[in-house]
Amino acid sequence: MLTLTEQVRAMSVVPSLAPQLHETLADPGAAWYAALSYSALHSRPVVVQMLREWLPVRLNGARDCADR
């Protein structure tokens, strides 16, 4: 988790890495969201908002796999 965070920080500083930064932020991977599930939700309400935004994307992906 910290490695990914450090990579995102480094990409945000180097302008030539902007495309890679946008790609990484668009799909950070399941591990990122799994780590958020261990956050104290009462102290970070933004976590609930992020999960609410992410859940429909995951569910659509699961439906797409089931249709194949």
Per residue of the chain (68 residues), what is the pLDDT tens digit? 678 888 889 999 999 999 999 888 888 777 777 777 776 766 677 878 888 888 888 888 766 655 55
Q: What pLDDT does residue 19 have? A: 92
Query: Which pLDDT does position 66 carry in this prediction?
Result: 57
pTM of the model: 0.46
- pLDDT value of residue 25: 85
Spatial distance between the Cα atoms of 28 and 49, rounded to a whole number of angstroms = 16
Query: What's phi and psi for 41, nearest 5 deg?
Result: -65, -30
CA gap 45, 30 in Å, rounded: 20
Q: Where are the domains of the chain?
A: 2-67
Q: How many CA atoms lie within 13 A of 42 on its CB side?
A: 0
User: Which residues, 6 or more positions from 41, have their beta carbon under 8 angstroms from its beta carbon?
Assistant: 47, 48
